[in-house]
Amino acid sequence: MKLQLPSVKSSEITPKSIFENRREILKMAAAGALGLELSSWFAREALAQTKLNVKQNPAYTLMDKQTPYKDVISYNNFYEFGTDKSDPIAYATSLVTRPWKISVEGLVGKPKVFDIDDLLKLMPLEERVYRMRCVEGWSMVIPWVGYSLSHLLKQVDPLGSAKYIEFTSLADKKQMRGLSSDVIQWPYVEGLRLDEANHPLTLLTLGLYGEALPNQNGAPIRIVTPWKYGFKSAKSIVKIKLVEKQPTTSWFLANPSEYGFYSNVNPEVDHPRWSQASERRLSDDKGFFAPKIKTLKFNGYGDQVASLYAGMDLKKFY
């Protein structure tokens, strides 16, 4: 006799983050804390539960252990919501990600404004497992979802005079409490050389772990450049502009001695206040107490990207 299983709607499936944190929920229930604290917790987690139709790209797989989902969504730099690593998950619930438009302009033959939902359909979505390295010394291994940025750039016909690409993030004080801080100038601006932007590794990122990007991770659209430090991966992008001259990026403007334009992961170049020769991988079972491991040049992607910098002094162009 064949067992007949009941059909279950996708909307009825327990979200991964809720399942993984079920013990914490039960503790809160036992403590009588199912009021405001739990409701705000569910509000945060609900933002990340849109499933995406994703196919894994075998060319971008790693043997490294992936960072637990709960750590990826709860330990972030996103200064628009605060400077503490826990601020984004606590306060990014205010970010409205629909409707969302992204303007692609500047030195292009066909400037265009894209709707985020159009970008979700532009190319088949693929999962790529990338190492990510933060300048402060911690690292993660994350299964990002998206497709190469070059596919988007082809839609606007870049001109021969375009040498760089500038990304501008949303800056809305009504949604982003961190904009009251003067830690950097707003809006947040990042940039790449055009050949870096067109490299297959540079990902137009729309999700992670098979789901739409959580607000705190840069929803609804961000860039991921895995051979560079994490701050080069602009979040919550509203404008992409192709330009002739190297853009002045936010962190370079704030402190050029610490944050160069290129910001390639290079263990041979120390940050002025600490060494970059090692890192702690948050995917380790010991979490923030994980032992230090050796940092790889270009974050381990040297075979793919080192040719972009042939003849350059990477200590000078840090």
User: Each residue of 203-248: pLDDT tens digit?
Assistant: 999 999 999 999 999 999 999 999 999 999 999 999 999 999 999 9
| Phi and psi at residue 208, to the nearest 5° | -155, 150
Tell me the C-alpha distance between 251 and 150, whole Å.
25
What end-to-end distance do the CA atoms of the chain give, in Å? Answer: 67
pLDDT above 70 for 29: no
Q: Which H/E stretch holds residue 151?
A: helix 149-154
Fold annotation for 52-309: Sulfite Oxidase; Chain A, domain 2 (3.90.420)
In this prediction the pTM is 0.85
In the chain, which residues fall in CATH 3.90.420.10? 52-309
Tell me the C-alpha distance between 215 and 169, whole Å.
13
Pairing state between β 138-148 and 203-208: antiparallel
Q: How many CB atoms lie within 10 A of CB 159?
A: 12
**Rg of the chain, C-alpha, whole Å:** 20
pLDDT per residue as tens digits for the range 236-269: 999 999 999 999 999 999 999 999 999 999 999 9
Q: How many CB atoms lie within 10 A of CB 178?
A: 21
